[in-house]
Protein backbone atom coordinates (compact mmCIF):
# COMPACT_ATOMS: atom_id res chain seq x y z
CA UNK A 1 0.00 0.00 0.00
CA UNK A 2 2.92 2.32 0.84
CA UNK A 3 4.49 1.56 -2.56
CA UNK A 4 1.20 2.37 -4.30
CA UNK A 5 0.92 5.65 -2.40
CA UNK A 6 4.51 6.64 -3.19
CA UNK A 7 3.92 5.83 -6.86
CA UNK A 8 0.77 7.95 -6.77
CA UNK A 9 2.69 10.87 -5.28
CA UNK A 10 5.40 10.64 -7.93
CA UNK A 11 3.04 10.55 -10.90
CA UNK A 12 0.17 12.84 -9.98
CA UNK A 13 -0.50 16.10 -8.24
CA UNK A 14 -2.70 15.37 -5.23
CA UNK A 15 -4.39 18.75 -5.65
CA UNK A 16 -5.86 17.55 -8.96
CA UNK A 17 -7.79 14.74 -7.30
CA UNK A 18 -11.47 15.66 -7.75
CA UNK A 19 -12.59 15.49 -4.12
CA UNK A 20 -15.88 17.21 -4.97
CA UNK A 21 -16.89 14.30 -7.22
CA UNK A 22 -15.91 11.75 -4.56
CA UNK A 23 -17.96 13.65 -1.97
CA UNK A 24 -21.02 13.76 -4.23
CA UNK A 25 -20.82 10.04 -4.99
CA UNK A 26 -20.40 9.14 -1.31
CA UNK A 27 -23.30 11.44 -0.38
CA UNK A 28 -25.75 9.89 -2.85
CA UNK A 29 -24.54 6.40 -1.90
CA UNK A 30 -25.17 7.14 1.78
CA UNK A 31 -28.71 8.19 0.94
CA UNK A 32 -29.03 4.93 -0.97
CA UNK A 33 -27.94 2.90 2.06
CA UNK A 34 -30.57 4.53 4.25
CA UNK A 35 -33.33 4.17 1.65
CA UNK A 36 -32.50 0.49 1.12
CA UNK A 37 -32.66 0.05 4.90
CA UNK A 38 -36.12 1.60 4.91
CA UNK A 39 -37.33 -0.54 1.99
CA UNK A 40 -35.66 -3.83 3.06
CA UNK A 41 -33.82 -3.68 6.42
CA UNK A 42 -32.34 -7.14 5.88
CA UNK A 43 -30.42 -5.90 2.82
CA UNK A 44 -28.76 -2.87 4.41
CA UNK A 45 -25.56 -4.71 5.36
CA UNK A 46 -25.13 -5.99 1.78
CA UNK A 47 -25.67 -2.49 0.41
CA UNK A 48 -23.00 -1.16 2.78
CA UNK A 49 -20.68 -3.90 1.56
CA UNK A 50 -21.41 -2.95 -2.05
CA UNK A 51 -20.62 0.72 -1.38
CA UNK A 52 -17.41 -0.24 0.47
CA UNK A 53 -16.29 -2.52 -2.38
CA UNK A 54 -17.23 0.13 -4.91
CA UNK A 55 -15.33 2.86 -3.07
CA UNK A 56 -12.24 0.62 -2.91
CA UNK A 57 -12.51 -0.16 -6.63
CA UNK A 58 -12.95 3.55 -7.38
CA UNK A 59 -9.81 4.43 -5.43
CA UNK A 60 -7.67 1.75 -7.07
CA UNK A 61 -8.90 2.50 -10.60
CA UNK A 62 -8.37 6.24 -10.11
CA UNK A 63 -4.65 5.53 -9.60
CA UNK A 64 -4.25 3.52 -12.83
CA UNK A 65 -3.47 5.38 -16.04
CA UNK A 66 -6.58 5.03 -18.16
CA UNK A 67 -4.48 5.18 -21.35
CA UNK A 68 -2.71 1.98 -20.27
CA UNK A 69 -6.05 0.22 -19.74
CA UNK A 70 -7.34 1.39 -23.12
CA UNK A 71 -4.46 -0.47 -24.77
CA UNK A 72 -6.38 -3.68 -23.97
CA UNK A 73 -9.63 -2.49 -25.49
CA UNK A 74 -10.06 -5.54 -27.75
CA UNK A 75 -9.46 -7.84 -24.77
CA UNK A 76 -12.13 -5.93 -22.84
CA UNK A 77 -14.50 -6.29 -25.78
CA UNK A 78 -13.87 -10.03 -25.97
CA UNK A 79 -14.27 -10.45 -22.22
CA UNK A 80 -17.65 -8.72 -22.41
CA UNK A 81 -18.92 -10.98 -25.22
CA UNK A 82 -17.69 -14.10 -23.42
CA UNK A 83 -19.44 -13.12 -20.18
CA UNK A 84 -22.72 -12.32 -21.91
CA UNK A 85 -22.61 -15.59 -23.86
CA UNK A 86 -21.80 -17.50 -20.66
CA UNK A 87 -24.89 -16.03 -19.01
CA UNK A 88 -27.13 -17.54 -21.69
CA UNK A 89 -25.38 -20.92 -21.38
CA UNK A 90 -24.83 -21.25 -17.65
CA UNK A 91 -26.58 -18.31 -15.99
CA UNK A 92 -29.16 -18.50 -13.23
CA UNK A 93 -32.80 -17.99 -14.21
CA UNK A 94 -34.96 -15.85 -11.96
CA UNK A 95 -38.51 -14.76 -12.89
CA UNK A 96 -38.13 -16.19 -16.41
CA UNK A 97 -34.97 -14.11 -17.07
CA UNK A 98 -31.39 -15.42 -17.22
CA UNK A 99 -29.19 -12.49 -16.23
CA UNK A 100 -26.91 -13.70 -13.44
CA UNK A 101 -23.64 -15.60 -13.24
CA UNK A 102 -22.62 -17.35 -10.04
CA UNK A 103 -18.99 -18.18 -9.23
CA UNK A 104 -18.92 -19.91 -5.84
CA UNK A 105 -20.59 -17.54 -3.38
CA UNK A 106 -20.13 -14.60 -5.76
CA UNK A 107 -23.05 -13.65 -8.01
CA UNK A 108 -23.04 -10.76 -10.47
CA UNK A 109 -24.91 -9.39 -13.47
CA UNK A 110 -22.55 -9.07 -16.48
CA UNK A 111 -24.85 -6.66 -18.33
CA UNK A 112 -24.06 -4.01 -15.69
CA UNK A 113 -20.35 -4.40 -16.37
CA UNK A 114 -21.05 -4.24 -20.13
CA UNK A 115 -21.93 -0.56 -19.77
CA UNK A 116 -18.49 0.30 -18.37
CA UNK A 117 -16.58 -2.00 -20.73
CA UNK A 118 -18.34 -0.50 -23.75
CA UNK A 119 -17.42 3.02 -22.62
CA UNK A 120 -13.76 1.97 -22.40
CA UNK A 121 -13.84 0.10 -25.70
CA UNK A 122 -15.40 2.92 -27.68
CA UNK A 123 -13.15 5.49 -26.01
CA UNK A 124 -10.16 3.80 -27.66
CA UNK A 125 -11.97 2.72 -30.84
CA UNK A 126 -13.27 6.22 -31.56
CA UNK A 127 -9.95 7.81 -30.60
CA UNK A 128 -8.25 5.73 -33.29
CA UNK A 129 -11.02 6.54 -35.78
CA UNK A 130 -11.11 10.23 -34.89
CA UNK A 131 -10.24 11.40 -38.42
CA UNK A 132 -12.83 9.15 -40.08
CA UNK A 133 -15.65 9.24 -37.50
CA UNK A 134 -18.03 10.80 -40.01
CA UNK A 135 -17.37 8.22 -42.71
CA UNK A 136 -20.01 5.61 -43.47
CA UNK A 137 -17.46 2.83 -42.93
CA UNK A 138 -16.58 3.92 -39.38
CA UNK A 139 -20.23 4.42 -38.42
CA UNK A 140 -21.14 0.97 -39.72
CA UNK A 141 -18.16 -0.55 -37.88
CA UNK A 142 -19.29 1.07 -34.64
CA UNK A 143 -22.83 -0.23 -35.09
CA UNK A 144 -21.64 -3.72 -36.01
CA UNK A 145 -19.47 -3.90 -32.88
CA UNK A 146 -22.29 -2.95 -30.48
CA UNK A 147 -24.87 -5.32 -32.04
CA UNK A 148 -23.53 -8.58 -30.46
CA UNK A 149 -23.80 -7.09 -26.95
CA UNK A 150 -27.30 -5.76 -27.62
CA UNK A 151 -28.43 -9.10 -29.05
CA UNK A 152 -27.00 -11.17 -26.17
CA UNK A 153 -28.56 -8.89 -23.53
CA UNK A 154 -31.91 -8.82 -25.36
CA UNK A 155 -31.93 -12.63 -25.39
CA UNK A 156 -31.66 -12.84 -21.57
CA UNK A 157 -34.31 -11.21 -21.97
CA UNK A 158 -33.43 -7.71 -20.75
CA UNK A 159 -35.04 -5.13 -23.02
CA UNK A 160 -34.53 -2.20 -20.63
CA UNK A 161 -30.74 -2.66 -20.42
CA UNK A 162 -30.63 -3.22 -24.19
CA UNK A 163 -32.28 0.15 -24.78
CA UNK A 164 -30.07 1.82 -22.15
CA UNK A 165 -26.87 0.57 -23.82
CA UNK A 166 -28.20 1.51 -27.27
CA UNK A 167 -28.78 5.07 -26.02
CA UNK A 168 -25.32 5.06 -24.42
CA UNK A 169 -23.81 3.99 -27.76
CA UNK A 170 -25.44 6.97 -29.48
CA UNK A 171 -23.98 9.29 -26.85
CA UNK A 172 -20.51 7.76 -27.30
CA UNK A 173 -20.64 8.21 -31.07
CA UNK A 174 -21.58 11.85 -30.61
CA UNK A 175 -18.75 12.35 -28.09
CA UNK A 176 -16.39 10.76 -30.61
CA UNK A 177 -17.12 13.57 -33.05
CA UNK A 178 -20.13 12.41 -35.04
CA UNK A 179 -21.86 15.42 -36.56
CA UNK A 180 -24.98 16.60 -34.76
CA UNK A 181 -26.50 17.19 -38.20
CA UNK A 182 -26.12 13.50 -39.01
CA UNK A 183 -27.57 12.58 -35.61
CA UNK A 184 -30.50 14.91 -36.28
CA UNK A 185 -31.10 13.27 -39.65
CA UNK A 186 -31.01 9.81 -38.08
CA UNK A 187 -33.43 10.91 -35.34
CA UNK A 188 -35.76 12.32 -37.99
CA UNK A 189 -35.97 8.79 -39.37
CA UNK A 190 -35.87 6.84 -36.10
CA UNK A 191 -38.59 8.75 -34.22
CA UNK A 192 -41.35 8.16 -36.82
CA UNK A 193 -40.11 4.57 -37.24
CA UNK A 194 -40.29 4.06 -33.47
CA UNK A 195 -43.86 5.37 -33.39
CA UNK A 196 -44.81 2.98 -36.20
CA UNK A 197 -43.12 0.05 -34.39
CA UNK A 198 -44.92 1.02 -31.18
CA UNK A 199 -48.25 0.88 -32.98
CA UNK A 200 -47.35 -2.53 -34.43
CA UNK A 201 -46.03 -3.79 -31.08
CA UNK A 202 -49.39 -3.39 -29.36
CA UNK A 203 -51.19 -5.42 -31.99
CA UNK A 204 -52.10 -9.09 -31.33
CA UNK A 205 -49.59 -11.72 -32.51
CA UNK A 206 -46.83 -9.18 -33.14
CA UNK A 207 -43.36 -10.80 -33.52
CA UNK A 208 -41.14 -8.22 -31.80
CA UNK A 209 -41.91 -8.40 -28.09
CA UNK A 210 -42.56 -11.09 -25.53
CA UNK A 211 -46.00 -11.19 -23.96
CA UNK A 212 -45.04 -9.47 -20.70
CA UNK A 213 -43.13 -6.75 -22.60
CA UNK A 214 -46.14 -5.98 -24.78
CA UNK A 215 -48.38 -5.91 -21.73
CA UNK A 216 -46.12 -3.38 -20.01
CA UNK A 217 -46.39 -1.04 -22.99
CA UNK A 218 -50.15 -1.44 -23.09
CA UNK A 219 -50.34 -0.81 -19.35
CA UNK A 220 -48.33 2.38 -19.84
CA UNK A 221 -50.62 3.59 -22.64
CA UNK A 222 -53.84 2.60 -20.86
CA UNK A 223 -53.04 2.30 -17.13
CA UNK A 224 -56.68 2.21 -16.03
CA UNK A 225 -57.30 -0.92 -18.09
CA UNK A 226 -54.48 -2.75 -16.28
CA UNK A 227 -54.85 -1.19 -12.84
CA UNK A 228 -55.33 -4.58 -11.18
CA UNK A 229 -52.22 -6.21 -12.61
CA UNK A 230 -49.52 -4.81 -14.92
CA UNK A 231 -49.86 -1.08 -14.12
CA UNK A 232 -50.60 -1.79 -10.45
CA UNK A 233 -47.04 -1.04 -9.27
CA UNK A 234 -46.57 2.13 -11.29
CA UNK A 235 -49.93 3.56 -10.24
CA UNK A 236 -49.07 2.86 -6.60
CA UNK A 237 -45.63 4.40 -7.11
CA UNK A 238 -47.13 7.62 -8.45
CA UNK A 239 -49.59 7.78 -5.55
CA UNK A 240 -46.80 7.13 -3.05
CA UNK A 241 -44.66 9.95 -4.45
CA UNK A 242 -47.65 12.29 -4.43
CA UNK A 243 -48.63 11.33 -0.88
CA UNK A 244 -45.23 12.50 0.38
CA UNK A 245 -46.16 16.06 -0.58
CA UNK A 246 -43.48 18.64 0.33
CA UNK A 247 -41.49 17.07 3.16
CA UNK A 248 -42.69 13.45 3.19
CA UNK A 249 -44.24 11.18 5.79
CA UNK A 250 -40.96 10.68 7.59
CA UNK A 251 -38.03 8.35 7.11
CA UNK A 252 -38.72 4.66 7.74
CA UNK A 253 -42.28 5.34 8.87
CA UNK A 254 -44.45 2.44 9.96
CA UNK A 255 -47.74 3.45 8.33
CA UNK A 256 -49.60 0.36 7.18
CA UNK A 257 -50.72 2.11 3.98
CA UNK A 258 -47.20 3.12 2.90
CA UNK A 259 -45.96 1.70 -0.39
CA UNK A 260 -43.37 -0.56 1.27
CA UNK A 261 -45.30 -1.64 4.36
CA UNK A 262 -48.43 -2.38 2.36
CA UNK A 263 -46.46 -4.35 -0.23
CA UNK A 264 -47.94 -2.21 -3.01
CA UNK A 265 -44.84 -2.56 -5.21
CA UNK A 266 -42.46 -5.47 -5.61
CA UNK A 267 -38.71 -4.89 -5.24
CA UNK A 268 -39.07 -1.41 -3.66
CA UNK A 269 -35.34 -1.47 -2.91
CA UNK A 270 -34.40 -1.54 -6.61
CA UNK A 271 -36.73 -0.50 -9.45
CA UNK A 272 -39.05 1.63 -7.28
CA UNK A 273 -36.63 3.08 -4.74
CA UNK A 274 -37.62 6.55 -5.96
CA UNK A 275 -41.19 5.87 -4.78
CA UNK A 276 -39.83 5.23 -1.27
CA UNK A 277 -37.86 8.48 -1.45
CA UNK A 278 -40.91 10.45 -2.59
CA UNK A 279 -43.20 9.01 0.06
CA UNK A 280 -40.82 9.31 3.00
CA UNK A 281 -38.78 12.41 2.11
CA UNK A 282 -41.30 14.19 -0.09
CA UNK A 283 -40.67 16.66 -2.89
CA UNK A 284 -37.63 18.00 -1.05
CA UNK A 285 -36.04 14.56 -0.86
CA UNK A 286 -36.77 13.81 -4.53
CA UNK A 287 -35.22 17.11 -5.59
CA UNK A 288 -32.17 16.47 -3.39
CA UNK A 289 -31.54 13.08 -5.01
CA UNK A 290 -32.05 14.43 -8.55
CA UNK A 291 -29.82 17.42 -7.77
CA UNK A 292 -27.00 15.21 -6.47
CA UNK A 293 -27.19 13.00 -9.56
CA UNK A 294 -27.18 16.12 -11.76
CA UNK A 295 -24.10 17.49 -9.98
CA UNK A 296 -22.30 14.17 -10.50
CA UNK A 297 -23.13 14.29 -14.22
CA UNK A 298 -21.96 17.93 -14.47
CA UNK A 299 -18.73 17.17 -12.58
CA UNK A 300 -17.96 14.30 -14.97
CA UNK A 301 -18.59 16.57 -17.96
CA UNK A 302 -16.35 19.32 -16.54
CA UNK A 303 -13.53 16.84 -16.03
CA UNK A 304 -14.02 15.59 -19.60
CA UNK A 305 -13.75 19.12 -21.00
CA UNK A 306 -10.22 19.32 -19.57
CA UNK A 307 -9.18 15.84 -20.75
CA UNK A 308 -5.88 15.70 -22.63
CA UNK A 309 -7.19 13.42 -25.39
CA UNK A 310 -10.35 12.16 -27.08
CA UNK A 311 -10.30 8.91 -25.11
CA UNK A 312 -10.43 10.74 -21.79
CA UNK A 313 -13.21 12.99 -23.02
CA UNK A 314 -15.28 10.01 -24.16
CA UNK A 315 -14.77 8.18 -20.84
CA UNK A 316 -15.99 11.17 -18.82
CA UNK A 317 -18.85 11.95 -21.18
CA UNK A 318 -19.80 8.28 -21.40
CA UNK A 319 -20.00 7.85 -17.63
CA UNK A 320 -21.99 11.09 -17.38
CA UNK A 321 -24.36 9.91 -20.14
CA UNK A 322 -24.79 6.49 -18.50
CA UNK A 323 -25.70 8.00 -15.12
CA UNK A 324 -28.05 10.50 -16.77
CA UNK A 325 -29.77 7.95 -19.03
CA UNK A 326 -30.26 5.33 -16.32
CA UNK A 327 -31.46 7.92 -13.78
CA UNK A 328 -33.98 9.28 -16.28
CA UNK A 329 -35.31 5.79 -17.07
CA UNK A 330 -35.60 4.73 -13.41
CA UNK A 331 -37.32 7.95 -12.30
CA UNK A 332 -39.44 7.93 -15.46
CA UNK A 333 -40.74 4.46 -14.58
CA UNK A 334 -41.46 5.43 -10.97
CA UNK A 335 -43.42 8.50 -12.12
CA UNK A 336 -45.09 6.61 -15.01
CA UNK A 337 -43.49 8.79 -17.67
CA UNK A 338 -42.05 5.58 -19.18
CA UNK A 339 -43.24 1.96 -19.35
CA UNK A 340 -42.22 -0.33 -16.50
CA UNK A 341 -38.63 -1.58 -16.85
CA UNK A 342 -36.02 -3.09 -14.56
CA UNK A 343 -33.23 -0.51 -14.29
CA UNK A 344 -31.75 0.63 -10.99
CA UNK A 345 -31.26 4.22 -9.81
CA UNK A 346 -27.48 4.84 -9.91
CA UNK A 347 -25.77 4.68 -6.49
CA UNK A 348 -29.17 4.53 -4.73
CA UNK A 349 -30.92 1.28 -5.64
CA UNK A 350 -29.90 -2.00 -4.03
CA UNK A 351 -27.58 -4.19 -6.07
CA UNK A 352 -23.91 -4.95 -5.52
CA UNK A 353 -23.02 -5.32 -9.22
CA UNK A 354 -24.70 -2.07 -10.20
CA UNK A 355 -23.21 -0.07 -7.32
CA UNK A 356 -19.68 -1.38 -7.84
CA UNK A 357 -19.82 -0.80 -11.61
CA UNK A 358 -20.92 2.82 -11.21
CA UNK A 359 -18.10 3.39 -8.71
CA UNK A 360 -15.69 1.87 -11.24
CA UNK A 361 -16.90 4.35 -13.84
CA UNK A 362 -16.26 7.23 -11.45
CA UNK A 363 -12.78 5.82 -10.79
CA UNK A 364 -11.92 6.13 -14.49
CA UNK A 365 -13.29 9.69 -14.55
CA UNK A 366 -11.12 10.60 -11.55
CA UNK A 367 -8.03 9.28 -13.31
CA UNK A 368 -8.83 11.35 -16.40
CA UNK A 369 -9.01 14.35 -14.10
CA UNK A 370 -5.49 13.65 -12.83
CA UNK A 371 -3.97 13.47 -16.32
CA UNK A 372 -3.78 17.10 -17.54
CA UNK A 373 -1.33 18.14 -14.81
CA UNK A 374 0.45 14.83 -14.62
CA UNK A 375 4.13 15.06 -13.80
CA UNK A 376 6.46 14.22 -16.68
Q: What was the pLDDT predicted at 224?
A: 58
pLDDT, mean of residues 317-325:
96
Q: Tell me: pLDDT of 100 over 90.
A: no
Beta bridge partners of 97: 94
Which tens digits make up the pLDDT trace of 101-124? Answer: 877 667 788 899 999 999 999 999
Pick 151 or 261 by higher pLDDT: 151
| Residue 284, phi then psi, degrees to nearest 5 | -60, -45
User: Taking all residues of the chain, what is their mean pLDDT, rounded to a whole number?
Assistant: 84
* Most confident segment among 41-45, 185-189, 211-215, 368-372: 41-45
pLDDT, mean of residues 321-332:
94
Which tens digits make up the pLDDT trace of 193-243? Answer: 666 766 666 666 666 666 666 666 666 566 556 555 556 677 788 888 888
Instruction: Delimit the domains of the chain by residue range.
Output: 17-370
253-284: buried (b, 16+ CB within 10 Å) or exposed (e) per residue? eeeeebbbeeebbebbbbbbbbbbbbbbbbee
Predicted TM-score (pTM) of this structure: 0.88
Pick 234 or 139 by higher pLDDT: 139
Contact indicator for 279, 236 with CB cutoff of 8 Å:
no
Q: What was the pLDDT predicted at 376?
A: 42
Amino acid sequence: MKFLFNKFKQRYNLRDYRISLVALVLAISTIGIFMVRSARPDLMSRQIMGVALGAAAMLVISLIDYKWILNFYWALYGLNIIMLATVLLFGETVNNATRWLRIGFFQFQPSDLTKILMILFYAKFLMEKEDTIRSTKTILQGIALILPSLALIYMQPNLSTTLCIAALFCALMYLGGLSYKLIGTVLAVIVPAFIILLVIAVQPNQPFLKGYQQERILAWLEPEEYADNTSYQQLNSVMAIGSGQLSGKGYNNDEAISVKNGNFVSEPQTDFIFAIIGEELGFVGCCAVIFLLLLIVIDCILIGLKAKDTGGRIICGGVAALIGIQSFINIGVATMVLPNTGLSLPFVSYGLTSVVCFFMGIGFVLNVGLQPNKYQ
